Structure formats: C-alpha cells, structure tokens
Structure 1
C-alpha cells in the first residue's frame, strides 16, 4: 500500500510539472507585463471595457469557441461562476452574432459574450489556444491557464486575485 501511495504521489508531481510546462509553452506569446486595451461589443450590442471593469473587482475572461471540444466541458463551469463573479467570454471564430446567440440559447449559457470572429482581440493578446481563462485585476493579468479547468479551479483563480 505504501509503495502505491508513493507511486501515485510521484505521478501527481510529474503531472503537475508537465501541466505547468505545457501551459507555459501554450501562452508564451501572451505579454504578462503590458495588457493591451480589452474592449469589445457583446452579441447583445453592449460595449464592454474589460480592463476598466477590472479596477472595480477581478474579472474572469474566457477565450473559447463553439467548435472547441474542451470548451464544451469548461463552459458549464464558466456559466456557473458567471452568476457570482464578473465573467466575460470572448468567442473566437464562432460565426456571426445570430449564430453565436443561437448556440448560447441552445446551451442555456448566461455569461456575456464578445464575438471575436476575426480573432482581433485574441491576436492583440497573443492568444493561440482555447480554452484560455484569464483573471484581470487592477488592469493587470494576474492569473491564466489553458485547457481544461474545473469549477473549483475557476473559483480558486478568482479568490487568489481577490486577496
């Protein structure tokens, strides 16, 4: 039993190191020092300035796509957290506003969506993979991760920024 626990612990440490390395490589183009202006128009025609909103409280920003299989697993958690914290999503290459709204309705998602159909916002930040979750606080990028993230992971990232 003791050797099994030791092997599980070693596997866990290796998994965490590999996850960190992959996350670092996937986000190598994101400028962690100088966050560009993050403004957009939601699919409901509401102008949003994410950087300005972050001066009121931490903001969760979720880059995703309707075509992304991992996003379909992460989006329900993002939807849940959006009921408690300011959460804005940026849909990359997911069609026009009507198509995106139909998708949101069919999935019953409530989070705010900025349509980045030409990837202009994503390119300005250096985002190349989805899903990507960022937490912006006081105009600065304080936390981010790519790939699958759980509801608990989302809460942890927001709580970390709030301290």
Structure 2
C-alpha cells in the first residue's frame, strides 16, 4: 500500500529510517483492513511526491509491527506522526483533508530543530 515515494518501515528499521533521518519524516500508521487508511493513502502518496527532497514519507503496518505503534501511543488509525530531529513534532489521528495535513507539514518544515519538543 505504499506508492513510489513512500517507504515501508518496520519495528526493526524505524529508528534508523525515522529517528535518525536528516529530513523531517511523515509516518503513516495503517492497516490493510482499515477503510480510512485506504482513503488517506492517495493523499499521503501525493504529499510524498510533492515534498520530495524536503520530507521523507514512510508507512508502518500496525498489524505486522506492534512495538513502534505501542511506543508512540497509537490507539487509532490512520495516525500520521511528523518527526523532526528524532522527535514527534505534530500528529493527526483519523482521516482529514489534504489541506490539514499540508498545513501541519508546512508548519513542521518551517520549525527549527531546537523548537521541536
């Protein structure tokens, strides 16, 4: 369920691919059976292409990878977490329009790493 610019990460690769990334990272926590996840997937794919070079976009299948969602308190999906400098800078739970996601992404991209909690 990942597009060309979107990468699948697992519990084993999460720290390297997300927390140690030089770029901010949008992480999409999803599952195959989740209807809203399927609805938001094309938006996530489009954003990955639109923000190529500025934002890394990855997906975590919560059914195959339980440790990472648990670590970040993911209780509902889809859940989008935006990481910057190895820390959660913003998050969205549930289906939202593209504009809402873009607004949060743009806000995080404008933040200096020191201003992320």
TM-score of the aligned structures, taking structure 1 as reference length: 0.54
**4+ residue segments displaced more than 4 Å:** none
Deviation at 1:57, TM superposition (A): 2.3
SS in 1 for 2:35: coil
**Gap regions ≥5 residues in structure 1:** 1-37, 94-116
Give CA-to-partner distance per residue, 1:103-160, whole Å, 9 cap, x none.
xxxxxxxxxxxxxx14121112221110001111112211101001222222111110
**Gap regions ≥5 residues in structure 2:** 1-9, 111-117
Structure of higher CA gyration radius: 1
Structure 2: distance between partners of 1:48 and 1:80: 24
> Relative contact order: is structure 1 or structure 2 higher (C-alpha 8 Å, sep ≥ 6)?
2
Q: Considering fraction of residues, name the structure with more helix.
A: 1
RMSD value over aligned CA atoms?
2.1
Aligned with 1:52 (options 14, 20, 28)? 20
Counterpart in 2 of 1:87?
57
